[in-house]
Chains A and B, each alone.
Chain A
Amino acid sequence: MTSRRNFLKTTSLTTFGFALGVSSFAKDATLKKITPAIVSLEINPFIIIDTAGNITLVNPRPDMGQGSTQAVPSLLAEELEVSLEKVKIVQSDGKGKYGDQTSGGSSSVRALWQPIRKAGAAAREMLTQTAAKRWNVSTTECFAQDGKIVHRGSGKSLTYGELADDASKLEIPKNPKLKEAKDFKIIGKYNKRLDVPERVTGKAVYGLDVDVPGMVYASVLHSPMLHGKIASIDDTETKKIAGVLQVVRTERPMPHRKSEAVAVIATNWWAALKGKKALKVQWDNGDYEKTLSTQKYFDATYEAARKEGINYEEKGDFSAKYASAKQKTEANYETPFLSHAPIEPENAVVHVKDDGTVEIWAPVQGPDWALRDVCGYLKVKPEQVKINVTLLGGAFGRKAYHDFLLEACHLSKELKKPVKVTWTREDDITQGPYRPGMLSHMQGFVENGKITGFHHHAIGESIAGQVFNGLKDDEADPWLTGEISPENSKYNFATASKVSWTNVKTDIPVVWWRSVYASNFGWGQECFIDELAHLTGKDPLEARLAILSDERFRKVLETLAEKANWKEKLPEGQGKGLAVFRSFDSISAACVTVSRQANGVKIDKVVSVIDCGYYVNPDNVKAQTEGNIVMGLTAAIKDGITFTNGVCDQTNFHQFNLMRINEAPKMEIHIIDSGANPGGVGEPGLPPIAPALGNAIFAATGKRIRKLPFDITNLS
């Protein structure tokens, strides 16, 4: 790994050079110059150009496969007029000076689009001024090209390295001129990701691959009913296993509560795992056997669907209009709890040292959040903690929840040595946290062949409430109610609309999962729009366009219709369905084609269209959307997570099946060049997938599916 220590050594001890910091990620981010003396104090060293011309960027977005290690440096390279290969990347370590550092909410390009480009443009202008002064010419006669400032008339040039020291003495321009989109050489163009080679040769270093000297391995026995208390531990058999060093009581710290646990410490992880399997622990499970039940949870959501929720917004007195409407319908749409199941299980190496400092090596989505949680948990100050973020072998939201990291903190503090905690797949699947299962109670009506009334009652557990204890009992959860409001969907329901919410609580831990609630509520919204479209007697595309005036939405749908050949007449037994959903500032629509086959259907093809505004690499937008198609279909037709009698019914991939290559359909992705501000890319492709499939199945078979997941081979 490129260690942060080496990076600081070269940057702070080389006392010449040029460094620019970005004080915040706000659009009007102010730039701040860091003189070499201050660099050694580590204030905002974001971008550093040294006297040898090396360009270093401290990347504030860990890479979990979404391509941030290309997207972020591209923004800088574009404005600095250098090739992507010239920018060396160092992962940020969570310290506050780097601002927000969490890969989540599809935020990398959205948040960094302005500030990183602005820093690059400012540096370019300062280097240009320096060269112009040296040549005694006007800056207008000079331009930046491939790491040099060139004088137009004479063709002479100076490298950034030759200019860096003097440039660093200049005032930073407050409003450097950003390049115009038409002049982009990197942004918006196909470029290979430079970190792909290390990912095909086994050289990439993930959390699981970290070894540090003196390290011991831990496998943690978690409470099968998640929150049970330890009644007794018999470790006789465990201690007979070669390599087992000790057995310790420990804990699993979740944001909202802690659970008791037992850790087996060994000289290697296989021994620790064998030791864990040999433990005989009695648990006092209280009444979790009765209460931890997804069936009971969903029963409560269906009960809530029969009652009024808390209104987030209501326009045009929906309830009265619905009561008197002549053409109306209502339905419940259910989505399951889901495990993120990144193929790299949760793991962390932590060393709580004798001097009170802490060093961490872990695959975390946000070193800033990890730092906050570690400081809060170990009662240490940020300056005592050093976080080395590794590559993440998938995350999808899971690795921004730090129970596994804090387990390693607890054990290292106790054992006074570096400890590597590695979860098993069974830990990952049976312990959560999960995407919450949710219910959408939908009501709507149609007047004069148009969908004019719509109510989405969102029901279930609140992530904000459970994870952050941040929701009042009389408050509609703004995380999701905003997302399903007509303000977000842009549907114009002329007569009345309503968004409401009921919080059904559960002790099952929940957290954000790729696209968060959009992954739940896209299902209810877009399948129900399809139901109402059929009530209008119109084609589902036409019925949508009739209530959409937003140009970007219309363009997305019209492009989808064209690319997916929506209007073609299909043979009997084949059907197409579509759905559109806006999330993370991007609009994505999908069209799924299915064919009847025995008692079920086969997915023939998925076409997806995304308008994500400006984007960095079209190939990566496609890759992310391909991933969203697979994950969206998996969520629809493979396994959900269920709890019966207090325990998770699924334990590994034989019960929590994921889509495999033989089940993955043909897919086609189209990107709209809208020129809008950048939207998200990592998540917005997912929400329309399941409803497009459900609507296709209705078109092909006449069967309306309202509960996920379902068995696509047997719809009877």
Chain B
Amino acid sequence: MTAVADTPATGPAGTLGSADPEPGPEETGREQHPQRPALELVPSSRRADVAATTNLTAEQIEELGRRLDAIRDRILAERGACDAAYIRNVIGKQRALEVGGRALLFAGVLPPAWIAGTAMLSIAKILENMEIGHNVMHGQWDWMRDPKIHSSTWEWDNVSSSAEWRHSHNYMHHTYTNVVGKDRDVGYGILRLSEEQRWNPYYLGNPIYNVLLSLFFEYGVALHDLEVEKVVAGEKPLSRVWQQLKSIGRKAGRQAFKDYLAFPALAGPFFLPVLAGNLTANLVRNVWSHAVIFCGHFPTGAVQFAPEQLEDESRGEWYVRQLLGSANLDGGRYFHLMTGQLSFQIEHHLFPDLPSNRYAEIAPEVRALCAEYGLEYTSGPLWKQYLQVLGTINRLALPNGRR
């Protein structure tokens, strides 16, 4: 199966946008301003597929799949009142934190109040996006049949609308995890995060784009739903993009009005401290969620896959791809809470719809299974994983950024 690495990356069904009639700028000499290229793939040693990455036989892979299914079935049978109490408690605490933080910011001319208020609001926004919004929209709590805590009704404090997010994240990212050219979370359409993306001078700015993406992550997420390169390739109608833009604009407008105008104005003479606090909280949330999410799939050890992997992929192979393509973060209980349990990225990718409070409980079992089957279970502290991600981003800014 490693043979795919030797074939030119024309890709199946031309989805990769690198067909021959369109030579790259370096071949035509039409060197222009660096422009963001369509995701182009070149052969690479890092391309892998599940069978080639493991020493497991097909039978072993299916056996592993059945054992993972058994973990899932057990949690499904167990979940009940305690889990429901958990999410309701988190939601209640998060809203109390938000109210408290905003109230303290009204006294924000006093530095201690500003710091405390901004910290509370930042934590509230992080919890709202990660432990609550992301997980509710995954349908992790749909089984409660509470219309207030349901994937079909939830809307989050982010400029990407929940409907767009459920498509780009739940479907595209979780189905095609780490398949370069299919999973748009690989690079968010602006970064080079894989050798498979053909280099061009635009990518010299890779580290800078990453800092910007980190600061404005919620906008990056919303805009990456637009799939601009698909529009350029003529695969996506402009009308659909316009529809998405209007949705993003509406939401961004409402968010901006609330955080940057209404609440500061309510504070009257203390307009500026409130504005600064809200802005800081949004930035903190963006930087934090960007770090956690990038550490989930791009540290050393997390594997990327060729689109061929998707052909006839079995349930067991799907599990192994999710396992190998994800990386965990080590930390304590409150750290896990603040990552929305995405510090258990591996468990989340194996079982995206299990209640998040259960990931910690099943992680040791998944780790033991990995050891038994000789699969790498990537895990490390946040600082170490993030440094690795930054290293990859810097390395891939250059043409042949091999390890």
Tell whether A and B belong to one assembly: no
